Amino acid sequence: MPGSFRTDDAHGEDYAPVRAAILKEYVFQEAKNLVDDLPGWRLIRADEEAKVLVCERKGGLLAGDSQIEIRCEGPEGLPSCTVEVESTSTTGLRSRDRANVAEFVRPFRRRIC
């Protein structure tokens, strides 16, 4: 079933945006490194200027592939960054979008916080 899910403060910790008192350039690089480390994830596009990653997460037997956008936002030159994650599925019988967001957010929070 197609669907989407994005980080939001109204959700639990594993589904909330990640905030850190770190320069967004460093946070963006760590996000790229984590995508490389996650099994089944593939980096499709990295916009170095806008600090946006577009990734693909392979689905399983029932879940189709998902596209995940990771956006690092914060002021230039100040150690403050917020990372938003959105997963969108267009195929498959089941959506794993919520699980995809948590699959990235949990280890990412440990890496930078």
Query: Tens of pLDDT along the chain (113 residues)?
Result: 678 999 999 999 999 999 999 999 999 999 999 999 999 999 999 999 999 999 999 887 777 899 999 999 999 999 999 999 999 998 777 789 999 999 999 999 999 98
Structural tokens at position 71: 């956006």
Q: Domain containing 107: what range?
A: 3-112
CATH of the domain at 66: 3.30.530.20
Query: Which pLDDT does position 13 carry in this prediction?
Result: 93
Q: For residues 77 and 56, what is the distance between their CA atoms, to the nearest angstrom?
A: 30
Question: 3-class DSSP state for residue 5?
Answer: strand
| CA–CA gap between residue 39 and residue 86 (Å, rounded) | 18
Residue 8, pLDDT score: 98
Confidence (pTM) = 0.94
Please name the residue ranges forming H helices in the chain: 24-37, 97-112
| Number of structural domains the chain divides into | 1
Give kind and range of the element (H or E) at residue 69. Answer: strand 66-73
The torsion region of residue 10 among left (phi > 0), alpha (psi -120 to 50) and beta comes to alpha
Sign of CA dihedral 22, 13, 11, 97: positive
pLDDT at position 92:
74
How big, in percent rounded to 5, are the helix, strand and coil portions of the chain? 30, 35, 35
